[in-house]
Amino acid sequence: MKTILLIEDNAEILANTGEILEMAGYAVLLAENGQVGVETALATRPDMVVCDITMPVLDGYGVLQIFNQNPQLTGIPFIFLTAKTERADLRRGMELGADDYLTKPFNKTELLSALAVRFQQLRQDMNP
């Protein structure tokens, strides 16, 4: 079973999105801010991360920068799920190395499809 780390500071979105992922067959780790997310990732090394951008303590951009700089975390697919809809925000996320950028509100099909695509790409990269 693939494990997804969900980092989101809104408790309702965190719970609802976590439930969607669990119903789709994923093991889900929940983190209420970026700092907790990084600590969780270091302790468990998830298969993928879904992360908000605007959060207290450590924002999503900071989380992704830490992932990019830490050898224990590099290579984990990283998807932003955020209310930041400006083109500049999307560009910044992609330039930092995000694998995908989904905006809120989202539908579960969109989220699950993005996850499936990333896992498919991982399989292809591992079995060229």
pLDDT at 128 (0 to 100): 62
pLDDT at 86 (0 to 100): 86
Query: How is residue 15 written in tokens?
Result: 């719970």
pLDDT single digits (tens) 1-29: 999 999 999 999 999 999 999 999 999 99
Domains along the chain with CATH numbers? 3-126 (3.40.50.2300)
pTM of the model: 0.93
Q: What angle do CA 35, 59, 54 make, to 5 degrees?
A: 130
